[in-house]
Amino acid sequence: MSRRRGVARALGPMLILLAACGGETTSDESAEATKTVAITATEYSFAGDPTGIVSGDTVQFNVTNVGGLTHELQVLDPGGTLLGRTAEIEPGDDDSVVIEFAEAGDYRLICDIDDHQTRGQFAFITVGSG
C-alpha cells in the first residue's frame, strides 16, 4: 500500500465530514464491493473494462498511474454530481475508490487535474438496470 493511500485512509473520516459540510458527495469506502474494476491512467486517457455494472452494484475501482504525470479518477453520476474520487496518484503509484451505483444511467470517469479532462482524459460507463 502506498504511503499516500495510508494517509488518505487515516484522514477518511475527516474528509467525509468536510464533504458533508461543503455539499460534495463522497463514496462509502466501508461498503463491501460486489465488483472490482482495474483502471490504468496515462496521458490523457483511461483504460480498463468497466462493463457489466448494474444498479445496486458496489464497485471498487483500482486505479494505477502508468503515465509520467500525476492523475486521479473521479466518478460523476448522470447529473454531474461527484460520487467519489481517488487521491492524486503519482506516476507508478495506485489508489482505489468504492462507488455504489444506486441507479441505471450513463456515468463519467474523469481526471480533473489541470487540463487533463479537456485533453481527453475521461470515459463513460453505462450502468444497467439491476
How far apart CA 93 and CA 63 sit, in angstroms, is 9
The CA R_g of the chain, rounded to the nearest whole Å, is: 14
Average pLDDT, the chain: 84
Which amino acid belongs to residue 9? R
Give me the number of domains the chain comprises. 1
How far apart CA 123 and CA 66 sit, in angstroms, is 17
Sequence-separated (6 or more) residues with CB below 8 Å from residue 20: none
Judged against a pLDDT cut of 70, whether residue 54 lies above it is answered with yes
Which range of residues forms the domain containing residue 99?
A: 3-127
Judged against a pLDDT cut of 90, whether residue 35 lies above it is answered with yes
Q: How far apart are the first and last CA of the chain?
A: 33
- SS3 call for 5: helix
Which amino acid belongs to residue 7? V
Any idea what the CATH number is for the domain that residue 95 is in? 2.60.40.420
Residue with grid cell 486505479, as numbered in its chain:
63
Q: What confidence score (pLDDT) does residue 29 get?
A: 53
φ/ψ of 42, rounded to 5, equals -150, 180
Q: How many percent of the chain have pLDDT more than 90? A: 75
pLDDT tens digits, residue range 65-109?
999 999 999 999 999 999 999 999 999 999 999 999 999 999 999
Q: pTM (2 decimals)?
A: 0.77
Q: What confidence score (pLDDT) does residue 104 get?
A: 97
CA distances from 29 to 60, 97, 118, 123, 128 (A): 9, 7, 28, 22, 22
